Amino acid sequence: MDEEEKLKVMGIFEHIDELRVRLVRSVIVLMVMFCICYFFAGQILTFLKQPLVMALPKGTPSLYFTGPMDVFLANVKIGFFTALVLSCPIWLYQLWKFLEPALYVKEKKYAIPFLISSVSLFVAGVAMCYYMILPLTLEYLLGLGKEMGATPIITISDYLSLIMMMMFGFGAVFETPVVLVLLALLELVTAEMLRTNRKYVIVGIVIVAAVVTPTPDPLTQMAMALPTWLLFEASIVLIAWLQRSKAKEAKKAEGK
């Protein structure tokens, strides 16, 4: 094996120091973004509560607060969550740089595709949740209350906890192809391994969809499970292609 093809060997303390550097950089960016987003928390809340406003009867007040600290803590939640989403290109890049020493030189060319795809998929998951899943979920949950003749009194704390859990959950689940491809580059999984364990993965996807979506109706759960399964299948195809490309390169190297 050529010298340039060898892995960059790092000791345990070097790994720890590298992790510390990447975490510090990510946290600094996150805190800067938090300060900016906290300043605009009111405008962001107006945007975030639109699915709830649309689901409630016209003219019904959308959010309530029950304690003197509720609004302040809501602003902190909004600032942190928005900063986490907006700074995802930075912390995903730092994650890549931390894992990069474990890759071969030729595999490091995937840095830009990794960053673009991971950011795109994360944002796509968050957007899908906000524009598609949240309206369905709120309509279902509020519909249960209407059937019982109950009046919805939704606190700002409960609403933010719900939507942040769901939106971040969808963003994380949509990272499935990136995680699997990265594991394949690290030679921890193969396309054949994923095909063999497909049935277990599908069961896991259904379970995750049931956890992340707080409603028991199959429509909402399928809205998450189906895209996740398709992303998993796309991962298998991409990993198989990477394995074939790697095998061809190895044969060419042997023939020289």
Distance CA 85, CA 233 (A): 26
In angstroms, the CA 237 to CA 255 distance is: 27
DSSP label at residue 256: -
pLDDT (0 to 100) of residue 11: 58
Phi, psi (degrees; rounded to nearest 5) at 164 = -70, -40
Give pLDDT, residue 62: 78
**pLDDT for the residue numbered 36:** 93
Per-residue pLDDT of the chain (256 residues; tens, 9 = 90+): 444 444 445 556 677 787 888 888 889 999 999 999 999 999 999 999 998 888 887 777 778 888 888 889 999 999 999 998 888 888 888 887 777 776 666 666 777 787 888 888 888 989 988 998 888 888 888 887 777 777 778 888 889 988 888 888 888 888 888 888 888 877 788 888 989 988 888 898 888 887 777 666 677 778 778 888 888 998 899 888 888 887 777 677 666 5
Q: What is the dihedral of CA 20, 22, 27, 29, to 10 degrees?
A: 150
Q: Within 10 Å of residue 19's Cβ, how many Cβ atoms?
A: 12
